[in-house]
């Protein structure tokens, strides 16, 4: 069952994870409206990095402070606790927060997944005998978070491939640990995303499957989320922020050469590694059809307590 996110629990987890967050500030004037942004280390979650570093928020008259958290769970916790105003997290986190009385709401999509250009995939060791979905029955598979969009995508992909998802065991391993887990045989299969996927594929891992295909050819990986009370108090600022993010997305999609140094800076990896990566793209508008399939699959596999609709989790700006 999904784990409840209460404000008390959020404050406790936030205190433990605060040391992992890296605060960075844009250079806008202090008289500008201020927003506190949150993200984690992933190319698909990098839109806030570009918005700050490329000066988009500053030029829009918005003073932004950015915190980088250890993972999406810590980011969502900070948002629930009121330590940040806006963050990029996945739709399942939003739906579960709402189901437990925490008034989070989505503003628009951010990172997008394209099946023909996958930036995260299931991998196996190059020496592995696993060739087909049925070979995963009885095996241990790693995912970055057990209650996540990734996990339900793998479960749905297994079911649609004729494999009982309950026949596969899941373990939580961050992207950075999957390559070694595959090499040592700790897991038979593991989910890896950029900025570490290309490095793993250049080593001892090989691509096995793209489970996000169950959501359609294009789907939302993460979206901009705020507390509903913040949106109600800052509706015009929220509208302006969304417009700026569409400008950021248009620029980032067209200029991976210019965003690469920013990814290298925040992810703390060599620029050459970023340039060899499968890069994410970002939403220049919001299409509900790229989000609803995720909510349907999340309910089907118990990642949310019921089926949510896009209208329930998105703000009407």
CATH number for the domain that contains residue 135:
3.40.190.10
**Domain finish residue from 215, 249, 269:** 215
Whether 257 and 124 share a structural domain:
no
Please indicate, yes or no, if residue 63 is contained in any of the structural domains: yes
Please indicate, yes or no, if residue 1 is contained in any of the structural domains: no
Residue 2's pLDDT is what?
Answer: 39
Whether 125 and 99 share a structural domain:
no
Whether 141 and 279 share a structural domain:
no
Residue 76's pLDDT is what?
Answer: 87
Please indicate, yes or no, if residue 256 is contained in any of the structural domains: yes
Whether 135 and 172 share a structural domain:
yes
Whether 78 and 134 share a structural domain:
no
What is the band of 4 on the pLDDT scale with cuts at 50, 70, 90? very low
Structurally, the chain folds into a number of domains equal to 2
By CB atoms closer than 10 A (0-12, 13-18, 19+), residue 187 is buried
What's the pLDDT tens digit per position in 232-263?
Answer: 999 999 999 999 999 999 999 999 999 999 99
Q: Is residue 17's pLDDT more than 70?
A: no
Q: Is residue 9's pLDDT more than 50?
A: no
Residue 256: domain span: 7-113+219-313
What's the pLDDT tens digit per position in 33-75?
Answer: 999 999 988 889 999 999 999 999 999 999 999 999 877 778 8
Mean pLDDT value of segment 298-313: 95
**Domain finish residue from 161, 193, 215:** 215
> Of residues 175 and 105, which shows the higher confidence score?
105
DSSP string for 263-315: HHHHHT--HHHHHTS---EE-SS--GGGTHHHHHHHHHTTSSSS---HHHHB-
What is the band of 175 on the pLDDT scale with cuts at 50, 70, 90? confident
Whether 94 and 132 share a structural domain:
no
Please indicate, yes or no, if residue 127 is contained in any of the structural domains: yes
């Amino acid at each position: 069952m999904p784990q409840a996110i209460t404000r008390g629990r959020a404050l406790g987890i936030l205190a433990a994870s605060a040391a992992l967050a890296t605060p960075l500030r844009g250079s806008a004037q202090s008289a500008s409206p201020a927003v506190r942004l949150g993200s984690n280390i992933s190319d698909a979650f990098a839109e806030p990095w570009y918005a700050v570093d490329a000066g988009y928020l500053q030029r829009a008259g918005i003073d932004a402070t950015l915190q980088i958290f250890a993972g999406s769970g810590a980011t969502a916790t900070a948002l629930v606790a009121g330590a940040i105003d806006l963050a990029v997290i996945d739709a399942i986190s939003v739906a579960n927060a709402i189901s437990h009385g925490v008034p989070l709401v989505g503003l628009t999509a951010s990172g997008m997944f394209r099946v023909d250009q996958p930036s995260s995939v299931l991998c196996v060791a190059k020496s592995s005998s696993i060739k087909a979905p049925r070979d995963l029955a009885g095996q241990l598979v790693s995912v970055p978070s057990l209650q996540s969009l990734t996990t339900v995508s793998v479960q749905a992909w297994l079911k649609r491939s004729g494999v009982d998802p309950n026949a596969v065991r899941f373990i939580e391993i961050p992207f950075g640990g999957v390559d070694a887990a595959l090499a040592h045989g700790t897991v038979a299969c593991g989910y890896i995303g950029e900025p570490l996927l290309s490095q793993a594929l250049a080593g001892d891992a090989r691509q096995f499957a793209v489970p996000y295909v169950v959501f359609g050819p294009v789907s939302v990986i993460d979206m901009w989320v705020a507390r509903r009370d913040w949106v109600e108090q800052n509706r015009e600022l929220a509208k302006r922020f969304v417009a700026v993010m569409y400008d950021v997305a248009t620029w980032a999609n067209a200029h991976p050469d210019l965003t690469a140094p920013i990814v290298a800076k925040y992810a703390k990896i060599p620029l050459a590694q970023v340039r060899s990566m499968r890069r994410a793209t970002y939403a220049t508008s919001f299409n509900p059809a790229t989000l609803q399939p995720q909510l349907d699959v999340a309910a089907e596999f118990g990642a949310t307590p019921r089926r949510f609709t896009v209208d329930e989790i998105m703000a009407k700006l």
